[in-house]
Amino acid sequence: PVQKTAYALAIEIHQQIVGALKPGVRMKELYSCAKETVAAKNPDLASKFVTSAGFGMGLEFNDMMLVFNDKCDRTVVAGTPFCISVGFSEPAGKTPWAVWRHEHGVCDPDG
């Protein structure tokens, strides 16, 4: 089923982002690389991929200035806590479905 394939790809994308989460990397680059991987591995899932793949956590749980999306030009800073959240959904399909993988962590100085 498509959900099983989507979840396996979500895990792969999640691991890719964790591996690339290093000080100085632009947040939009993390998201762009994730989108490119989805398009290359399973083009049918590209339109179902999340519009952001995580966010930084500051004084507010979800710091809207630190979002992994196409527009965020901010860079990753060592010591910043993050929530990496990757998934796919098809809410308007014949049988709506969604799969998600998320994890919280802190960016180490060495990445």
pLDDT of 62 reads 57
Task: Give the pLDDT confidence score for residue 65 in this predicted structure.
Answer: 79
Measure Cα distances from 63 to 10, 17, 34, 74 in Å: 23, 18, 21, 12
Residue 109 confidence (pLDDT) = 82
Q: Give the pLDDT of residue 93.
A: 78
Q: Rounded to two decimals, what is the model's pTM? A: 0.89
- Which two tokens mark 7? 């979840």
For the chain, 111 residues long, the average pLDDT of each consecutive 10-residue run is: 95 95 95 97 96 84 79 92 94 90 88 61
- The whole-number pLDDT of residue 24 equals 94
Rounded to whole angstroms, how far apart are CA atoms 86 and 101? 5
Full 3-state SS string of 55-90: EECCCCCCCCCCECCCCCCCECCCCCEEEEEEEEEE
101 alpha-carbon distance from chain centroid:
9
pLDDT at 6: 97
d(CA 48, CA 99): 10
Supply the pLDDT for residue 66. Answer: 85
The pLDDT value recorded for residue 17 is: 95
